Structure 1
Amino acid sequence: MNAQIWVPFHEAYRDGSAEKYLALHRPEFIRGEGTLKIVRTLDEYAAGVRRSFAIWKERGLKIDLQFRFLERIVKEAQASERGIYRFTVIHPDGKTERFYGQFHTFARKVDGRWQLVVDYDSDEGGRVDAARYEAAAAVDDFSRF
């Protein structure tokens, strides 16, 4: 999972590559955004992703997206993972802004490749913060699961 989803997910945001990020998703992908109270198809979600990545590039922003985990369940070719993400925006002048959210993904392994089928996230009414992020397990720490 890490090598096929979480590492390339982080790298796509770091490198500003919307297409690398979108390649991690199955065609039947569903995106749920609890904070905005919306559900999107892959096509709808992809349009917004491409727009966001273009805006960040235009403004000279760098993105550092990191993940920590609360739960990781894998059975054969299906996986459910819940965790906390830290989204850091780095401005051209060096100023940084940090945002936190909670996510729940479902992935499927098809032809030896893991891809996201469902991704839901929310800021949980502003309750997700640095302390909750740090309390979750690091991406390479499987000792809790």
Structure 2
Amino acid sequence: MSRIKYIAVSFVFLLLSWDSYSQEEQLHQKINQDMYGKFSEAFQKLDFSLFESIHSKEMIRISGNGGEIKNVKAYLKGYKKRWGDPKTKPSPISFRLFERITSDSLVSDRGIYRGTYKNDKDETKHFYGQFHLLLQLENDFWKILIDYDSDENNTINQASYENAFALTDYKKYWKRKQ
């Protein structure tokens, strides 16, 4: 192959690779913003409307610790009541992932969350849980269709959280289609 053809082929390959990388990056940024960005913001601001907006109208909530399954209406009712109480303080929450599987309209995410709060002595405390979400693309937004979480009998902790990957590090947790 002549040098010019080699350079041209290499350039085209580079452009295609860059376009693929850019599309991957945009997909993960969109999922993370639609879901985790809004979820975190809702917890920080106690914004029930925002929280409600990230849930599918068909959402199912499964509490591993509580041993119960709720539909979206029953699940959201608890947050509306809790966040409507003037004594409720914001509880920042953050997320890390250890697995993401994607299709055109569904995403399966598994990871660890950490919530932060101040106790009666004004000490900062954390709580942790493991989650498995099924997200569905609805009207160009990723919404929660199935939400399962558990603290796995109090075994999920800071080490679990740190061992999962930052949301921005999708190349480490994303399981690509083969």
Same fold, TM exceeding 0.5? yes
Q: Which has the higher contact order (CA 8 A, sep 6+)?
A: 1
Alignment of 1:72-111 (within 5 A): 72-90=100-118, 94-111=122-139
> Which AA in structure 2 matches 1:45?
Y
Return the alpha-carbon distance in structure 1 between the equivalents of residues 78 and 88 of structure 2: 18
Residue correspondences, number: 143
Secondary structure of 1:52's aligned partner: helix
Alignment partner of 1:30 is 2:60: yes
**Residue 59 in structure 1 maps to residue 87 in structure 2:** yes
What stretches of structure 1 of length at least 5 have no aligned partner? none
Contact 1:62/1:91 (8 A) holds in 2? no
Matched, 1:120 2:151: no
SS in 2 for 1:143: helix
> Alignment identity in percent?
30
Partner of 2:45: 15
* Higher radius of gyration, 1 or 2: 2
Is the Cα contact below 8 Å between 2:82 and 2:88 reproduced in 1?
no
Aligned equivalents of 1:66, 1:10: Cα separation in 2: 6
Residue 136 (structure 1) aligns with? 164
Q: Which has the higher strand share?
A: 1
- Residues 16 and 91 (structure 1), Cα distance of their counterparts in 2 relative to 1, 3 Å cut: farther
Q: CA RMSD in A?
A: 1.5
The alpha carbon displacement at 1:51 in A equals 1.7
* Contact 2:38–2:50 under 8 Å retained in 1: yes
List runs of 5+ in structure 2 lacking aligned partners: 1-30
Q: Provide the rounded CA distance (Å) in 2 between the counterparts of 1:121 and 1:60.
A: 22
